Structure 1
Amino acid sequence: MLVKICGITSLEIANQAIEAGADFIGFVFAKSKRQINMTDAAEISREIPKHVKKVGVFVNESIENIHTIATTVGLDYVQLHGDESPSFCDQVEVPVIKAIKVKEKQDVEEIAKYNSVYFLLDSPPGKYQGGNGETFDWELVKDMSKDKHKIILAGGLTPSNVVQAIQQVQPIGVDVSSGVESNGKKDQKKMFAFVKEAKKKGDK
Structure 2
Amino acid sequence: MHVKFCGFTQLSDVHTAVQLGADAVGLVFYPPSPRAVTIAQAQALIAAVPAFVSVVALVVNMSQDEMIELANNVSFDIIQFHGDETPEQCQQLASAVNKRWIKALRINAEQHSIASVNAQIDKFAAAGASSILLDAYHQHKYGGTGARFDWSLIPQNSTLPIILAGGLNAENIAATVELPIYAVDVSGGIEQDKGKKDAAKMRAFMKAVKRDRWQNETLSEPSNMSS
**Does 2:127 align with 1:122?**
no
Cα 1:61–1:160, aligned 2, differ >3 Å: closer, same or farther?
same
**Inter-partner Cα distance in structure 2 for 1:36 and 1:84:** 21
| AA partner of residue 175 (structure 2) | Q
Which residue pairs with 2:57 in the alignment? 56
Which residue pairs with 2:180 in the alignment? 170
Which residue pairs with 2:79 in the alignment? 78
For residues 123-142 of structure 1, the aligned pairs below 5 Å read 123-125=136-138, 127-141=140-154
The two structures have a TM-score, normalised by structure 1, of 0.92
Which residue pairs with 1:10 in the alignment? 10
Once structures 1 and 2 are overlaid, which stretch shifts more, 122-131 or 17-26?
A: 122-131
Percent of counterpart pairs with the same letter?
A: 36
Which whole-Å deviations, capped at 9, do the CAs of 1:97-119 have from their partners, x for residues lacking one?
10011112124431110121011
CA contact (8 A) 1:108 1:140 kept: no
CA contact (8 A) 1:100 1:108 kept: no
CA contact (8 A) 1:164 1:202 kept: no
| AA partner of residue 81 (structure 2) | L
- Which runs of no fewer than 5 residues in structure 2 stay unpaired? 217-227
**SS of equivalent to 2:213:** coil
Which residue pairs with 1:191 in the alignment? 202
CA contact (8 A) 1:29 1:36 kept: yes
Which whole-Å deviations, capped at 9, do the CAs of 1:143-200 have from their partners, x for residues lacking one?
421236x111000001011120232x23110000001112443100110111121233
Which residue pairs with 2:158 in the alignment? 146
**Inter-partner Cα distance in structure 1 for 2:118 and 2:35:** 27
**SS of equivalent to 2:105:** strand
**Inter-partner Cα distance in structure 2 for 1:134 and 1:175:** 13
CA contact (8 A) 2:118 2:158 kept: no
Paired residues, number: 201
Rg larger in structure: 2
Pairwise CA RMSD: 1.6
CA contact (8 A) 1:102 1:121 kept: yes
Task: Report deviation, 1:73.
Answer: 1.2
Which residue pairs with 1:24 in the alignment? 24
**Inter-partner Cα distance in structure 2 for 1:126 and 1:5:** 24
- Which runs of no fewer than 5 residues in structure 1 stay unpaired? none
**SS of equivalent to 1:201:** helix
Once structures 1 and 2 are overlaid, which stretch shifts more, 156-165 or 191-200?
A: 191-200
Q: 4+ runs of 1 displaced by more than 3 Å? A: none
**Inter-partner Cα distance in structure 2 for 1:37 and 1:69:** 10
